[in-house]
Structure 1
Amino acid sequence: MSTNDEMIDNKLDDLYMVFIINDKKYALSSKYIIEIIEMLPITKVPFLPKYMKGIINLRSTIIPVMDTRMRFDMEPIDYNERTCIIIIEHETDKIGLIVDAVNEVINISPDKSMKMNSSKDGVKQNFIKGVSEINNEVQLILDCESLVRIVEETNDGIDE
């Protein structure tokens, strides 16, 4: 890989999508985001946790969809014209995250963020990877791997 390619990869690693849930800002690394789509009809699947709203068919690909408000123990709301689904992917797993609104794409360099101390044995679902302050606003940086792991755990629960 050339030096220019490495510089471009490093710049891309610093890009984050900021979205809003319950008037709070969250960030997710853009390298995991496939696309942002408007709300689609969601097919309910029995025996899933309440925060898993079901599945969508996106161009012949079945993707599980999670309501992030409900997963983060917030009250659900009626979806509106700003509500959208962020499709993320880690390795081969994909999941759709329902968020209140997408805000912006920002650059968060490693020196502008603070990693969270979390142990794998501690909190089972720690979705927060770090915290950043940009323009005097705090953004919680979400851990994509933890969010996608929900798909694996949900599949395990169905198989049992």
Structure 2
Amino acid sequence: MGEEMKVIVFALAHEEYGVEVEKVRTIERMQPMTRVPRTPEFVKGVINLRGVVTPIIDLRGRFGFAESDYTDNTRIIIVSVKEMEVGLIVDSANDVTDINTDNIDDPPEVVGGIKAKYLQGIAKIGDSRLLVLLNLEEVLNKSEIIQLENQEE
């Protein structure tokens, strides 16, 4: 019998994604950001969140999707990975759901244009719902983000 895993469900480009609840610090509304020079396009800037300067990444940009205008539903999900706090801009944060780990399949090579290494798996919820689980360590892989910076010079 698999274990239950709690995930925060969010929407991005008409797909549903999930990140483990224990990696999520808070969910914030959009707020003004300070742009940081010489960072990849998807790094939108930094915000001061209760005294902590937090970098903000647009997940659409990170995955190479077309960026869209921010709406009243747009949220910043503040996640914590390896001592690093980062905000992820998503189209909307929908709910928290329990997933049985038995219902998680390995990701195919590419899902909706996202490479498998960024994905932890695909979770089946009920009969018709699929949830793409992100591998935050890879999404926020520092060396890769640094490489991206170097390519832009």
TM-score (norm 1): 0.80
Give the 3-state SS of the residue equivalent to 2:137 in structure 1: helix
Q: Flag structure 2 segments of 5+ consecutive residues without an equivalent.
A: none
The within-5 A match list for 1:120-159 is: 126-135=117-126, 136-150=128-142, 153-154=144-145
Query: Which of 97, 105, 128 is residue 106 of structure 1 equivalent to?
Result: 97
The structure with more strand, counted as a fraction of residues: 2
Q: Flag structure 1 segments of 5+ consecutive residues without an equivalent.
A: 1-9
Question: How far apart are 1:115 and its partner, in Å?
Answer: 2.6
Q: 1:132 & 1:75 partners in 2: Cα distance?
A: 25
Give the 3-state SS of the residue equivalent to 1:108 in structure 2: strand
8 A contact 1:93–1:148 mirrored in 2: no
Q: Are 2:24 and 1:33 equivalent residues in the alignment?
A: yes
- Root mean square deviation, CA, Å: 2.2
Measured against aligned partners, the alpha-carbon deviations of 1:50-75 in whole angstroms (never above 9, x if no partner) come to 01111111011001100001111111
Question: How far apart are 1:125 and its partner, in Å?
Answer: 8.0
The structure with more helix, counted as a fraction of residues: 1
TM-score (norm 2): 0.84
8 A contact 1:94–1:148 mirrored in 2: no
Q: 1:94 & 1:43 partners in 2: Cα distance?
A: 16
Measured against aligned partners, the alpha-carbon deviations of 1:90-112 in whole angstroms (never above 9, x if no partner) come to 12111100000011111111101
Query: Which of 37, 44, 61 is residue 70 of structure 1 equivalent to?
Result: 61
TM-aligned CA distance change 1:143 to 1:32, over 3 Å: same
Match for 1:139: what amino acid? Answer: L
Matched residue, 1:93: 84
Matched residue, 2:6: 15
